[in-house]
């Protein structure tokens, strides 16, 4: 790999949903990029092809087989970004221990990238479990005195904007749309490629050391009603809208016939679209990407929706 003045970045979870975008951003922005993958990735055709693509683009690959291998990998890098799946969050405890042992990591970004768990102690079950798990990891990081940055990326466009928040849909509505409550809660919609860009910028920024970073593209802070209106203008048609009252939505969350992951996802929808939990005044220990990186271009909600015309 060619010499670079940029810090060396290790990404764990490169084949995961958001991990692949972070990895692409790291390579695209010229960071010496190291990837640790599990041996079983080789038996997954799609993930194996993805990893080969990263290697062809310039990433250095390594395999996680034991703690010794992990420590050896950590000694090669400056920054560690973890983007493992929510079900595996507790695996980061061993990673934190290894980072502490090595003692040379300049920044650790744990697997978060959604809503800020530090502000979600009021979250309802079963959606609250992931926030509690992430807070356990935060406490372990801080107890180990590891330099860190927490990143809140709000709503991934692929999950939320592709279907304009129509639960379970990944294409915008053409005839009817559900509106949650009054539909006026402000939501922050973020393209996953932009998540990757902002994560890498925050990872080496001295201003973000030991803080929480909130990805808030100014033009993408829009309510559900505003996004639906934007979509209606694009397709030249007024959608038939159905209001889903809060009590009706709560009954969906409590429906034990639904799977636990579905109920957890519904609980997160509730926090976002009924309670408006994405919008708050950022405190002194937080940073807004809109203020940190005003010159970074990003995909607007308007531009993102054009792909569905």
Looking at residues 92-116, what average pLDDT do you find?
97
Task: Please give the DSSP secondary-structure letter assigned to residue 8.
Answer: P
Overall number of domains in the chain: 1
Residue 57 lies in a domain: yes
Looking at residues 128-142, what average pLDDT do you find?
98
Model pLDDT, residue 303: 98
Looking at residues 51-71, what average pLDDT do you find?
91
Element (H, E) at 211: strand 211-214
Model pLDDT, residue 42: 85
Model pLDDT, residue 123: 98
Q: Cα separation of 281 and 283, whole Å?
A: 6
Residue 224 lies in a domain: no
Residue 228 lies in a domain: no
- Banded model confidence at residue 1, pLDDT cuts 50, 70, 90: very low
Q: Cα separation of 308 and 304, whole Å?
A: 8
Task: Among 58-67, 75-84, 292-301, name the one with the lowest average pLDDT.
Answer: 58-67
Select which of 55, 68, 94, 134 is catalytic.
134
- For residue 238, pLDDT over 70 is answered with yes
Residue 128 lies in a domain: yes
Q: What is the pTM of this model?
A: 0.96
Residue 273 lies in a domain: no
Looking at residues 149-175, what average pLDDT do you find?
97
- Banded model confidence at residue 3, pLDDT cuts 50, 70, 90: low
Residue 251 lies in a domain: no
- 260-288 burial string, b = 16+ CB within 10 Å, else e? eebbbbbbbbbbbbbeebbeeebeeebbe
Its domain, for residue 140, covers 9-154+190-215+280-293
* Chain center to CA of 205: 19
Model pLDDT, residue 38: 87
pLDDT tens across 204-225, in order? 999 999 999 999 999 999 999 9
- End-to-end, the C-alpha distance of the chain in Å comes to 41
Model pLDDT, residue 81: 98
Average predicted confidence (pLDDT) for the chain:
96
Domain holding 73: CATH number?
Answer: 3.40.50.720
94 belongs to the catalytic site: no
Looking at residues 8-19, what average pLDDT do you find?
97
- For residue 55, pLDDT over 50 is answered with yes
- For residue 65, pLDDT over 80 is answered with no
Residue percentage of the chain with pLDDT more than 70: 99
pLDDT tens across 244-282, in order? 999 999 999 999 999 999 999 999 999 999 999 999 999
- For residue 240, pLDDT over 70 is answered with yes
Looking at residues 114-129, what average pLDDT do you find?
97
Residue 168 lies in a domain: no
The secondary structure of 59-90 as a DSSP string is: PEEEE--SHHHHHHHHTT-SEEEE---GGGGG
Residue 238 lies in a domain: no
């Amino acid at each position: 790999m060619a010499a670079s003045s940029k810090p060396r970045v290790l990404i764990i979870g490169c084949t995961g949903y958001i991990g692949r975008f972070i990895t692409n951003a790291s390579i695209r922005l010229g960071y010496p990029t190291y990837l640790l993958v599990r041996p079983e990735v080789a038996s997954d055709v799609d993930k194996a092809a993805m990893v080969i693509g990263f290697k062809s683009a310039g990433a250095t690959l390594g395999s996680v087989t034991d703690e010794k291998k992990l420590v050896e990998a950590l000694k090669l890098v400056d920054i560690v970004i973890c983007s493992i799946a929510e079900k595996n969050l507790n695996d980061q405890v061993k990673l934190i221990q290894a980072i502490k042992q090595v003692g040379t990591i300049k920044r650790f970004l744990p697997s978060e990238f959604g809503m800020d768990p530090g502000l979600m102690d009021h979250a309802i079950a079963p959606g609250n479990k992931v926030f509690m798990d992430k807070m356990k990891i935060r406490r372990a990081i801080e107890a180990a005195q590891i330099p860190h940055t927490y990143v809140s990326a709000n709503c991934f466009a692929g999950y939320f904007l592709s279907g304009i928040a129509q639960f379970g849909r990944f294409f915008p509505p053409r005839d009817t749309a559900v509106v949650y409550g009054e539909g006026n809660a402000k939501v922050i919609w973020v393209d996953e490629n932009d998540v990757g860009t902002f994560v890498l910028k925050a990872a080496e920024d001295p201003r973000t050391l030991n803080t929480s970073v909130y990805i808030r593209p100014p033009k993408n802070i829009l309510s559900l009603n505003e996004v639906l209106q934007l979509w209606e203008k694009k397709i030249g048609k007024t959608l038939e809208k159905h209001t889903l009252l809060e009590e009706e939505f709560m009954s969906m969350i409590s429906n034990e016939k639904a799977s636990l992951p579905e109920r957890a996802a519904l609980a997160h929808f509730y926090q976002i679209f009924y309670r408006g939990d994405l919008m708050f005044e950022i405190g002194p220990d937080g940073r807004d990407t809109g203020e940190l990186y005003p010159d970074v271009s990003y995909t607007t909600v308007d531009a993102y929706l054009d792909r569905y015309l």
